[in-house]
Each structure stands twice: as structure tokens, then as C-alpha cells.
Amino acid sequence: MLQQFNPKRVLRQISNPLLKEFFERQGHALAVDWDGLSNTQVDDIFDAWQRLPDEQRKAVEITFHDVHEMANEDGTRVIIEESQYHGEDLAPLLEPMESRYDKAIWTFMYRPGVWDAVVRFAKADTFWGGRSWMKRGNMPSAGPKTDAGTLRAFQEAMAPGTWISTPSTLSRVAPMAPLKSGAVLPAGA
């Protein structure tokens, strides 16, 4: 089970050289004695981060939330799989890193295309069974409305969101007959 986000815990899990590089890459040269801190001494880093202007502070926090979400075994596996999809195997580069948080923030900094994809997938996965997926067991059973007026209204509602529609052309909307048990749609249907 994923632990609740705690910014100081995230800071403790990321090695100081990567933290320093992260903040510098974001344009925030924090006034922190990086060389004098151990990896678990994060109060100075946290305080300097909290002194950033609101918009910049929040942007860093969002990134740390994402790093936290991806800093687990499944997250590392997905990063490696996505990197392979992008034509590079990150496993040899990530393997020597002890912290999964280091692996996640390194990917954020050095492979933004991979990072954007894995975070997007992770966020989509959280919707399944989450707040946006509400089961409604008390809804009455009803068949679809397929009369000409309802189809026309649906067609007009969908037209602005489809790439094939123009002001003079609407996408064709037609009811589909229910599939028989075990039936499979033909390719292109």
C-alpha cells in the first residue's frame, strides 16, 4: 500500500546531489549548505523550499507528489518498460541507484518524455475504482434511446469534439445491434 505523501519524507528519500540538481534545474538555487547536510537532514532544504513564491513552491510540490507516486517497485518497472518503448533501456542506468525516489526524480530530470508518459498512466490508473468511477447500483434498467430525435441530438452534441466534423458535416451516429453472447466485432467496426 502506498504511503501518504509527506514532503519531508520525500526529501529524505532523495539523495542530496539529486535534490540540489533538481532545484537548480527548476531555477531555484536554494540558500542551503548542501555539502554540510547529510541525506536525512532536510529541515534547511524544506524551509528554503517553503520560502519560494507560491506558484514555484506549488510546482515543486506537484513534482514531488508525482515522484512519490512513482517511487515504488511498480513505478520503477513502468519507467523501465516505458523507456524501452521510447527506444532506450533505462534499467542499467537506474539499477545502481539505491533509492527508488532517486530513480523517479532522475527520470523526471533526464527523460522527460518517459516521465510524462508514466505519470499520465499512473494518474489514469488511480481513477479506476476512485472518485471518478462511481458505481450506481440504484439506476433503473433501461434500453438505449434510438429514436431519430435522440440520435440527432447526440450527433450534434458529439460533432464539435470529433476531428472529422465541419460546420456543414456531422459525424454519422447509428445504433448498433446488441452482440450475441460470445460474438466479436469485426476489425474496423
Low-confidence ranges of the chain (pLDDT < 70): 1-2, 125-139, 159-189
Per-residue DSSP letter, 3? P
Only one residue has cell 459525424, namely 171
Does pTM top 0.75 for this prediction?
Answer: no
Q: Identify the helix (H) or strand (E) that includes residue 89.
A: none
Task: Evaluate the CA torsion angle 102, 108, 109, 113 in order and state its sign.
Answer: positive
pLDDT at 141: 74
**Type of residue found at 123:** K
pLDDT at 27: 94
* Ranges of each domain in the chain: 7-127
| pLDDT 10s digits, 136-188 | 566 677 778 888 888 888 877 776 655 544 454 555 555 555 556 555 555 54
Query: 164: helix, coil or strand?
Result: coil
pLDDT at 1: 45
pLDDT at 148: 87
CA distances from 86 to 35, 74, 82, 111, 176 (A): 36, 18, 6, 10, 38
C-alpha cell at 87: 527506444
Among the residues of the chain, which ranges form H helices? 7-13, 16-25, 43-50, 54-70, 73-85, 91-94, 100-110, 112-127, 148-158
